[in-house]
Amino acid sequence: VYSRGGFHGGDIVHDFLHTTGLRSDLPVQPEPSNPALSCDAQAVLLRVNALLERDVRSDANRLRDALVDYLERNALWKSRLPPEEEAREYYRYFEESNSQVARRWFDRAELFDDDFSQYPAEPPLADPDRVADLLAGFMLDQLAVQSGPPPRKAPEAREQG
């Protein structure tokens, strides 16, 4: 129910229009939201969040928001998935309540697919060079913002393996 493959037309807007019987031929193109950040970007954000969690200054939050914006523009590669066993454990924890939702609202037995073949045995580690590239690019971006010209696009990042 919550995967793009399960939506009519591949996205929630077209699915909603189809389900409600509204015109679906309108030039509606939903903006991507909550994009998948690369493993390296996730590592950067995880560390920054840990460092800023005790900092209540509004400028720290603005800096974090700017970092998220930068990462969403420059680090949208394949996201890090949790290890297969961790994903299975999470699935099992919510399995009964998800089944209740599936039966009540969707007239089916399962809410989510239980195929975990895409999950790795061990999660990939962030590449220190790519993490450094992202941080350096963000610093240059912030310098450009402070000095006036529009934000720079990140330097060509190394391909993620």
Instruction: Say what the alpha-carbon torsion angle 124, 130, 132, 138 is, to the nearest 10 degrees.
Output: -110
pLDDT of residue 121: 94
Q: Is the pLDDT of residue 61 over 70?
A: yes
Buried b (16+ CB within 10 A) or exposed e, 10-48: eeebbbebeeeeeebeeeeeeeeeeeebbbbbbbbbeeb
pTM of the model: 0.64
Give the confidence band of 96 by pLDDT, cuts at 50, 70, 90. Answer: very high
- pLDDT, residue 81, reads 86
How does residue 19 score in pLDDT terms, banded at 50, 70 and 90?
A: confident
